[in-house]
Amino acid sequence: MCGRYSFAIEDALILERFGVRVRTAIYITRYNCSPTQNLAVISNDAPDTMKFFRWGLIPSWAKEPSIGSKLINARSETLVDKPSFKNAFRTRRCLVPATGFFEWQRNGKNVAGNPSAPTPWNIRMKNGDAFCFAGLWDKWVSGNGEIIYSFTIITTSPNQLVGQIHDRMPVILLRADEQRWISPQPDPSLVELLKPYPAGLMEAWPVSQLVNSPKNDVPEIIKQIEIETL
């Protein structure tokens, strides 16, 4: 799964990289993007504007918005069949800009024989460039008229690098495929894009447990640490 990521880029570079406008009054660099937060997306209904949707998809037919906390990810292998995702895949796709993401590696047991705390890893492009996850979005309206726009990040099997850390990874789109993903028309062939990103273009390093708390949203979260060995 993908449960945390970073989007730390100067707002002046957003137009240059993504070709979208952003209101600088509401954009801030984020080192610890977490579920249920309002985060940057580029949706296929407004591909020239950066919007802010809640992370955790709330299907339009849902009775309560709380379902969103269970739908932060959509498995690429089953999204065309799942009621929560299949309609969104047809008509409500989005790009989720990022500069890195986090996965947790299980470490076995410590010297006392108890399970060790998983080690978080920061994973990003070797050249440091920003990129986009493949996402889906939806619009939910409550009985009293409250409107919530939300999104989910699609996941797939890991590449060779991420596979050493976790058994899933988010779908990262090649830059050449980003505009195709947010085309306004249904396109069943888009499933071809839902595959692991080339491992040779990525790098990863362990980071501190600071990332475990959404309250911690500081640059220290993405800094490399040394892993203690027995």
The H-assigned helical ranges of the chain are 11-18, 86-91, 178-181
Give the number of C-alpha atoms closer than 13 A to the C-alpha of residue 125, restricted to the C-beta side: 16
Is the per-residue pLDDT at 230 higher than 60? no
Q: What is the pLDDT of residue 26?
A: 78
Tokens of 47: 């591909």
pLDDT at residue 113 greater than cutoff 60: no
Known catalytic residue at 33 = no
CATH number at residue 136: 3.90.1680.10
Contact between residue 169 and residue 2 where contact means Cβ atoms under 8 Å apart: yes
Q: Is the pLDDT of residue 109 over 50?
A: no
Q: What is the mean pLDDT of residues 115-135?
A: 93
Q: Is the pLDDT of residue 59 over 70?
A: yes
pLDDT for 4 beyond 80:
yes
Cβ burial, residue 186 (10 Å; 0-12/13-18/19+): exposed
Catalytic residue among 33, 94, 103, 132: 103
Is the separation of the CB atoms in 101 and 170 below 8 Å? Answer: yes
Q: In the sheet where 4-7 sits, what is the strand order? A: 30-33, 4-7, 100-105, 119-125, 202-206
Q: How far is CA 171 from the centre of its chain?
A: 8
User: Residue 111: its pLDDT value, please?
Assistant: 39
The answer to whether residue 228 sits within a structural domain is: no
For residue 108, the model assigns a pLDDT of: 56
- Asked whether residue 72 is assigned to any structural domain, the reply reads yes
Q: For the stretch 19-57, what's the b/e string if a residue is b when 16 or more beta carbons lie within 10 angstroms of its beta carbon?
A: ebebeeeebeebbbbbbeeebbbbbbeebeebbebbbbb
- Using left for φ > 0, alpha for ψ between -120 and 50, and beta otherwise, residue 176 falls in alpha
Q: What percent of the chain has pLDDT over 90?
A: 81
What are 202-221's pLDDT values in tens digits? 999 999 999 999 999 999 99
Catalytic residue among 2, 33, 94, 132: 2
Residue 25 has pLDDT above 80, yes or no: no
pLDDT in the model for residue 228: 54
Domain total in the chain? 1
Nearest to 132, CA basis, from 147, 154, 149: 154
| Residue at 120 is within a domain | yes
- Work out the average pLDDT over 73-86: 93
Active site residue 2: yes
The pLDDT confidence band at residue 67, using thresholds 50, 70 and 90, is very high
Q: What backbone phi and psi angles, to 5 degrees, belong to 199?
A: -65, -35
Residue 168: inside a domain = yes
Q: Please indicate, yes or no, if residue 229 is contained in any of the structural domains.
A: no
Where does 44-165 show beta strands of DSSP type E?
A: 51-55, 73-75, 93-98, 100-105, 119-125, 131-141, 147-156
Instruction: Give the number of residues written for the chain.
Output: 230
Residue 230 lies in a domain: no
Which of 81-90, 95-104, 221-230 is predicted least confidently? Answer: 221-230
Whole domain around residue 208: which residue ranges? 4-222
Q: Which amino acid is at 182?
A: I
Q: Is residue 227 part of a domain?
A: no
Weakest mean pLDDT among 5-14, 18-27, 102-111: 102-111
Domain contains 135:
yes
Q: How do residues 129-154 score in pLDDT, each as one tens digit?
A: 999 999 999 999 988 889 999 999 99
